[in-house]
Amino acid sequence: MRRELEPWLTGRVVRSAELVDAVPGPKYARLARAVGQRVAAVGRHGKFLLLPLEAPETGGGAARDELVIHLGMTGVVSAEPPVSHLRVVIRFDGPEPQTLYFRDVRRFGRVLIAPEGVYDGLPTLQQAGPDALAPAFTPEGFARALAHSGVAIKTALMSQRPVAGVGNIYADEALWRIGVHPERPARLLRRGQVEALHGAIVDVLMASLEAQGTTLHDYRTVNGAVGAYLERLAVYGRTGRPCPRCGAAIARIVVGARGTHLCPVCQPRPRSRRGSRAAPRRAGGRS
Protein backbone atom coordinates (compact mmCIF):
# COMPACT_ATOMS: atom_id res chain seq x y z
CA MET A 1 0.00 0.00 0.00
CA ARG A 2 2.84 2.36 0.82
CA ARG A 3 4.47 1.64 -2.50
CA GLU A 4 1.25 2.38 -4.34
CA LEU A 5 0.50 5.57 -2.44
CA GLU A 6 3.98 7.08 -2.65
CA PRO A 7 3.98 8.08 -6.33
CA TRP A 8 0.34 9.08 -6.16
CA LEU A 9 0.32 11.31 -3.10
CA THR A 10 3.83 12.64 -2.51
CA GLY A 11 3.95 16.41 -2.94
CA ARG A 12 0.19 16.91 -3.06
CA VAL A 13 -1.73 19.34 -0.87
CA VAL A 14 -4.77 18.13 1.04
CA ARG A 15 -7.84 20.05 -0.10
CA SER A 16 -10.41 18.41 2.17
CA ALA A 17 -10.71 15.61 4.69
CA GLU A 18 -14.12 14.46 5.81
CA LEU A 19 -15.70 11.66 7.79
CA VAL A 20 -18.51 9.67 6.26
CA ASP A 21 -20.64 7.51 8.53
CA ALA A 22 -17.90 7.64 11.16
CA VAL A 23 -18.01 9.12 14.64
CA PRO A 24 -15.38 11.81 15.27
CA GLY A 25 -13.10 10.60 18.04
CA PRO A 26 -9.72 9.03 18.77
CA LYS A 27 -9.78 6.89 15.65
CA TYR A 28 -10.09 10.01 13.48
CA ALA A 29 -8.43 12.56 15.74
CA ARG A 30 -7.64 15.98 14.27
CA LEU A 31 -8.21 14.75 10.74
CA ALA A 32 -9.31 18.21 9.60
CA ARG A 33 -5.84 19.57 10.41
CA ALA A 34 -4.55 17.91 7.27
CA VAL A 35 -6.33 20.44 5.10
CA GLY A 36 -3.89 22.84 3.42
CA GLN A 37 -0.86 20.70 4.25
CA ARG A 38 1.41 18.99 1.76
CA VAL A 39 2.33 15.31 1.83
CA ALA A 40 6.10 15.32 2.30
CA ALA A 41 6.55 11.56 2.11
CA VAL A 42 4.74 8.26 2.40
CA GLY A 43 6.32 6.10 5.07
CA ARG A 44 5.41 3.10 7.12
CA HIS A 45 6.25 1.54 10.44
CA GLY A 46 4.86 -1.92 10.99
CA LYS A 47 1.21 -1.81 10.03
CA PHE A 48 0.99 1.96 10.43
CA LEU A 49 1.15 4.08 7.31
CA LEU A 50 2.81 7.41 8.15
CA LEU A 51 2.55 10.48 5.92
CA PRO A 52 4.46 13.48 7.28
CA LEU A 53 2.76 16.74 6.33
CA GLU A 54 4.25 20.15 5.71
CA ALA A 55 2.30 23.28 6.49
CA PRO A 56 3.06 25.83 3.73
CA GLU A 57 3.29 28.88 6.01
CA THR A 58 5.70 27.43 8.57
CA GLY A 59 9.36 27.37 7.66
CA GLY A 60 11.81 24.61 8.71
CA GLY A 61 11.98 24.02 12.45
CA ALA A 62 8.27 23.75 13.18
CA ALA A 63 6.96 20.44 14.43
CA ARG A 64 5.26 18.60 11.63
CA ASP A 65 1.98 16.80 11.62
CA GLU A 66 1.67 13.27 10.40
CA LEU A 67 -1.25 11.57 8.73
CA VAL A 68 -1.54 8.12 10.30
CA ILE A 69 -3.50 5.33 8.63
CA HIS A 70 -4.07 1.86 10.03
CA LEU A 71 -6.28 -0.61 8.20
CA GLY A 72 -7.30 -2.54 11.29
CA MET A 73 -9.13 -5.70 10.29
CA THR A 74 -11.09 -4.62 7.26
CA GLY A 75 -9.68 -1.29 6.12
CA VAL A 76 -9.17 -0.65 2.40
CA VAL A 77 -7.66 2.43 0.73
CA SER A 78 -8.56 3.14 -2.88
CA ALA A 79 -8.84 5.82 -5.52
CA GLU A 80 -12.24 4.47 -6.53
CA PRO A 81 -15.29 4.97 -4.33
CA PRO A 82 -16.12 1.76 -2.44
CA VAL A 83 -19.46 0.02 -2.82
CA SER A 84 -20.25 0.48 0.90
CA HIS A 85 -18.86 1.23 4.36
CA LEU A 86 -17.10 4.41 3.30
CA ARG A 87 -15.59 6.14 6.37
CA VAL A 88 -13.15 8.81 5.17
CA VAL A 89 -12.74 10.86 1.99
CA ILE A 90 -9.56 12.90 1.44
CA ARG A 91 -9.22 15.09 -1.62
CA PHE A 92 -5.89 16.31 -2.95
CA ASP A 93 -4.80 18.82 -5.55
CA GLY A 94 -3.01 17.77 -8.73
CA PRO A 95 -3.94 15.41 -11.56
CA GLU A 96 -6.61 12.72 -11.37
CA PRO A 97 -7.21 10.71 -9.39
CA GLN A 98 -7.58 13.32 -6.66
CA THR A 99 -9.63 11.42 -4.10
CA LEU A 100 -8.56 8.85 -1.55
CA TYR A 101 -11.33 6.68 -0.09
CA PHE A 102 -11.05 4.74 3.14
CA ARG A 103 -13.47 1.86 3.48
CA ASP A 104 -13.74 -0.01 6.77
CA VAL A 105 -16.49 -2.54 7.41
CA ARG A 106 -15.75 -3.33 11.06
CA ARG A 107 -14.48 0.10 12.07
CA PHE A 108 -11.23 -1.17 13.58
CA GLY A 109 -9.13 1.03 11.36
CA ARG A 110 -8.04 4.62 11.96
CA VAL A 111 -7.15 7.69 9.96
CA LEU A 112 -5.86 10.53 12.09
CA ILE A 113 -3.38 13.34 12.53
CA ALA A 114 -0.63 13.13 15.15
CA PRO A 115 2.41 15.30 15.78
CA GLU A 116 5.25 13.57 13.94
CA GLY A 117 6.88 11.00 16.18
CA VAL A 118 4.52 11.70 19.10
CA TYR A 119 1.86 9.06 19.23
CA ASP A 120 0.01 9.71 22.49
CA GLY A 121 -3.16 7.93 21.47
CA LEU A 122 -1.29 5.14 19.73
CA PRO A 123 0.67 3.24 22.40
CA THR A 124 1.33 0.27 20.13
CA LEU A 125 3.06 2.53 17.63
CA GLN A 126 4.78 4.46 20.39
CA GLN A 127 6.27 1.27 21.83
CA ALA A 128 6.78 -0.55 18.55
CA GLY A 129 10.05 -2.30 17.86
CA PRO A 130 11.96 -1.89 14.59
CA ASP A 131 10.03 -2.45 11.40
CA ALA A 132 10.42 -6.02 10.23
CA LEU A 133 11.76 -4.94 6.82
CA ALA A 134 14.07 -2.19 8.06
CA PRO A 135 17.82 -2.61 8.59
CA ALA A 136 17.23 -1.84 12.27
CA PHE A 137 15.60 -5.24 12.67
CA THR A 138 18.60 -7.40 13.53
CA PRO A 139 18.93 -10.86 15.05
CA GLU A 140 20.90 -9.34 17.92
CA GLY A 141 18.27 -6.76 18.81
CA PHE A 142 15.53 -9.31 18.32
CA ALA A 143 17.25 -11.65 20.75
CA ARG A 144 17.56 -8.89 23.33
CA ALA A 145 13.89 -8.01 22.99
CA LEU A 146 12.81 -11.61 23.52
CA ALA A 147 15.31 -12.49 26.24
CA HIS A 148 13.25 -11.36 29.22
CA SER A 149 9.71 -12.04 28.08
CA GLY A 150 7.84 -14.90 29.64
CA VAL A 151 4.88 -14.72 27.29
CA ALA A 152 4.28 -17.10 24.41
CA ILE A 153 6.44 -16.28 21.40
CA LYS A 154 3.31 -15.77 19.33
CA THR A 155 1.95 -13.27 21.85
CA ALA A 156 5.30 -11.47 21.88
CA LEU A 157 5.21 -11.14 18.10
CA MET A 158 1.62 -9.88 18.14
CA SER A 159 2.53 -7.15 20.64
CA GLN A 160 4.62 -5.38 17.96
CA ARG A 161 7.32 -4.74 20.56
CA PRO A 162 10.15 -7.08 19.55
CA VAL A 163 9.41 -6.31 15.90
CA ALA A 164 6.72 -4.24 14.17
CA GLY A 165 4.58 -5.46 11.32
CA VAL A 166 3.87 -9.11 12.10
CA GLY A 167 0.19 -9.95 12.53
CA ASN A 168 -1.75 -13.12 13.15
CA ILE A 169 -1.26 -14.67 9.72
CA TYR A 170 2.46 -14.10 9.39
CA ALA A 171 3.20 -14.97 13.02
CA ASP A 172 1.71 -18.42 12.43
CA GLU A 173 3.51 -18.79 9.11
CA ALA A 174 6.91 -17.72 10.48
CA LEU A 175 6.69 -20.02 13.50
CA TRP A 176 5.74 -22.93 11.26
CA ARG A 177 8.74 -22.24 9.06
CA ILE A 178 11.15 -22.55 11.98
CA GLY A 179 9.36 -25.42 13.71
CA VAL A 180 8.67 -23.67 17.00
CA HIS A 181 5.41 -24.04 18.92
CA PRO A 182 3.51 -20.71 19.23
CA GLU A 183 3.13 -21.15 23.00
CA ARG A 184 6.81 -21.56 23.70
CA PRO A 185 7.85 -18.82 26.15
CA ALA A 186 9.73 -16.17 24.19
CA ARG A 187 12.78 -16.20 26.43
CA LEU A 188 13.22 -19.96 25.98
CA LEU A 189 13.94 -19.76 22.28
CA ARG A 190 17.52 -20.75 21.66
CA ARG A 191 19.81 -18.33 19.91
CA GLY A 192 19.65 -20.32 16.69
CA GLN A 193 15.88 -20.31 16.81
CA VAL A 194 15.77 -16.55 17.29
CA GLU A 195 18.02 -16.10 14.28
CA ALA A 196 15.88 -18.49 12.26
CA LEU A 197 12.71 -16.67 13.33
CA HIS A 198 14.25 -13.35 12.33
CA GLY A 199 14.97 -14.74 8.88
CA ALA A 200 11.58 -16.42 8.58
CA ILE A 201 9.73 -13.20 9.41
CA VAL A 202 11.65 -11.27 6.76
CA ASP A 203 11.23 -14.06 4.21
CA VAL A 204 7.50 -14.57 4.71
CA LEU A 205 6.78 -10.84 4.59
CA MET A 206 8.86 -10.41 1.44
CA ALA A 207 7.14 -13.36 -0.20
CA SER A 208 3.73 -11.97 0.71
CA LEU A 209 4.67 -8.51 -0.57
CA GLU A 210 5.60 -10.08 -3.87
CA ALA A 211 2.15 -11.67 -4.04
CA GLN A 212 0.53 -8.35 -3.04
CA GLY A 213 -0.47 -9.63 0.37
CA THR A 214 -3.10 -12.01 1.68
CA THR A 215 -6.77 -11.44 0.92
CA LEU A 216 -9.02 -13.45 3.24
CA HIS A 217 -12.17 -11.41 2.66
CA ASP A 218 -11.94 -7.65 2.39
CA TYR A 219 -8.35 -6.74 1.72
CA ARG A 220 -7.57 -5.15 -1.62
CA THR A 221 -4.54 -3.27 -2.89
CA VAL A 222 -5.01 0.42 -3.66
CA ASN A 223 -5.59 -0.63 -7.27
CA GLY A 224 -8.30 -3.06 -6.22
CA ALA A 225 -6.37 -6.30 -6.67
CA VAL A 226 -6.71 -9.22 -4.29
CA GLY A 227 -3.57 -10.47 -2.56
CA ALA A 228 -2.46 -13.83 -3.89
CA TYR A 229 -0.54 -15.00 -0.86
CA LEU A 230 -3.63 -16.78 0.47
CA GLU A 231 -2.87 -19.80 -1.68
CA ARG A 232 0.72 -19.93 -0.44
CA LEU A 233 -0.17 -20.07 3.25
CA ALA A 234 1.18 -23.17 4.96
CA VAL A 235 -0.87 -23.22 8.17
CA TYR A 236 -3.07 -20.13 8.62
CA GLY A 237 -6.70 -21.02 8.00
CA ARG A 238 -5.77 -24.58 7.02
CA THR A 239 -7.05 -26.42 10.06
CA GLY A 240 -7.31 -30.15 9.40
CA ARG A 241 -5.53 -29.97 6.07
CA PRO A 242 -2.10 -31.53 5.56
CA CYS A 243 1.10 -29.80 6.60
CA PRO A 244 2.99 -28.94 3.38
CA ARG A 245 6.16 -30.28 4.96
CA CYS A 246 5.16 -33.50 6.70
CA GLY A 247 1.53 -34.16 5.83
CA ALA A 248 0.21 -34.14 9.40
CA ALA A 249 -3.12 -32.44 9.99
CA ILE A 250 -2.81 -28.74 10.83
CA ALA A 251 -4.12 -27.97 14.32
CA ARG A 252 -5.89 -24.87 15.57
CA ILE A 253 -5.48 -23.60 19.12
CA VAL A 254 -6.12 -20.26 20.80
CA VAL A 255 -3.15 -18.17 21.96
CA GLY A 256 -3.71 -14.76 23.46
CA ALA A 257 -7.37 -14.95 22.39
CA ARG A 258 -6.31 -15.33 18.75
CA GLY A 259 -6.81 -18.26 16.44
CA THR A 260 -3.44 -19.95 16.02
CA HIS A 261 -2.51 -22.58 13.47
CA LEU A 262 0.37 -25.02 13.64
CA CYS A 263 1.66 -28.39 12.62
CA PRO A 264 1.70 -30.58 15.74
CA VAL A 265 4.51 -32.68 14.27
CA CYS A 266 6.80 -29.92 12.96
CA GLN A 267 6.06 -27.68 15.95
CA PRO A 268 5.92 -29.98 18.98
CA ARG A 269 4.51 -28.54 22.17
CA PRO A 270 7.21 -27.37 24.57
CA ARG A 271 7.81 -29.98 27.27
CA SER A 272 6.11 -28.02 29.99
CA ARG A 273 3.65 -29.28 32.56
CA ARG A 274 1.31 -26.38 32.00
CA GLY A 275 -1.73 -26.63 29.83
CA SER A 276 -2.68 -24.12 27.20
CA ARG A 277 -5.58 -22.63 29.12
CA ALA A 278 -5.42 -20.17 31.97
CA ALA A 279 -6.09 -22.37 34.94
CA PRO A 280 -5.95 -26.11 34.41
CA ARG A 281 -2.80 -27.08 36.29
CA ARG A 282 -3.86 -30.66 35.90
CA ALA A 283 -1.63 -33.34 34.44
CA GLY A 284 -4.36 -35.32 32.74
CA GLY A 285 -5.52 -35.26 29.17
CA ARG A 286 -2.29 -35.01 27.27
CA SER A 287 -2.75 -34.74 23.53
Q: From CA 43, how far away is CA 41, in angstroms rounded?
A: 6
Closest to 194 (Cα-Cα) out of 248, 240, 156 = 156
Q: For the segment 122-151, give every residue that binds DNA (CB under 7 A).
A: 122-125, 148-151
* Candidate segments 50-58, 67-75, 207-215, 223-231, binder of DNA by CB under 7 A: 67-75
Radius of gyration, CA atoms only, the chain: 21
Q: Does 182 bind DNA (CB under 7 A)?
A: no
Any contact of residue 158 with DNA (CB under 7 A)? yes
> Does residue number 280 form part of the binding site for DNA (CB under 7 A)?
no
Is residue 30 a contact point for DNA (CB under 7 A)?
no
73 binds DNA (CB under 7 A): yes
Size of interface with DNA, in residues (CB under 7 A): 34
Binds DNA (CB under 7 A): choice among 105, 202, 226, 265: 105
Closest CA to 75 of 218, 188, 260: 218
Short-list 213, 207, 209, CA closest to 227: 213
Indicate which single residue of 37, 155, 208, 214 sits in contact with DNA (rule: CB under 7 A): 155
Tell me how many degrees the CA angle 51-216-227 measures, rounded to the nearest 5: 60
Establish if 70 lies at the interface with DNA (CB under 7 A). yes
Within 28-166, strands assigned E span 38-39, 43-45, 48-54, 65-70, 75-78, 86-92, 99-104, 110-115
Handedness of CA 260, 214, 4, 88 (dihedral sign): negative
Q: Does 83 bind DNA (CB under 7 A)?
A: no
Binding interface with DNA (CB under 7 A)? 23, 26, 46-48, 70, 72-73, 85, 105-108, 121-125, 148-151, 155, 158, 160, 167-169, 217, 256-259, 278
